[in-house]
């Protein structure tokens, strides 16, 4: 925690006096655990959204290849194989 506060103040180009440092509030264990739970929840949600975005991109790619370029299954397979190598 001390290192975090130091880096935060350094990034903001601020200095604290001795009394200010001694009077800093230290988060409780429960506060830290709650923050970590929130972080893990946010991280899981981000991973879900990334997966959803990948699925939507694949669906969009397929739609473009088939409807815009009017490719059949064999043509799509050739394009996808090329893109995997590329």
Q: What is the pLDDT of residue 1?
A: 66
Domain edges within the chain: 2-85
CB atoms within 10 A of CB 75: 13
**9 near 16, Cβ under 8 Å?**
yes
Q: What is the pLDDT of residue 52?
A: 98
pLDDT tens track, the chain, 86 positions: 667 777 777 778 777 777 877 787 888 999 999 999 999 999 999 999 999 999 999 999 999 999 999 999 999 999 999 999 98
Q: What is the pLDDT of residue 27?
A: 85
Residue with tokens 């969009």: 60
**64 near 75, Cβ under 8 Å?**
no
């Amino acid at each position: 925690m001390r290192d975090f506060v130091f880096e935060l103040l350094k990034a903001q180009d601020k200095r604290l006096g001795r009394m200010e440092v001694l009077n800093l509030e230290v988060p409780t264990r429960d506060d830290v655990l709650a923050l970590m739970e929130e972080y893990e929840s946010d991280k899981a949600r981000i991973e879900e959204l990334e997966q959803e975005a990948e699925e939507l991109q694949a669906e969009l790619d397929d739609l473009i290849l088939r409807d815009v370029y009017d490719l059949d299954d064999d043509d799509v397979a050739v394009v996808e194989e090329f893109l995997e190598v590329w």
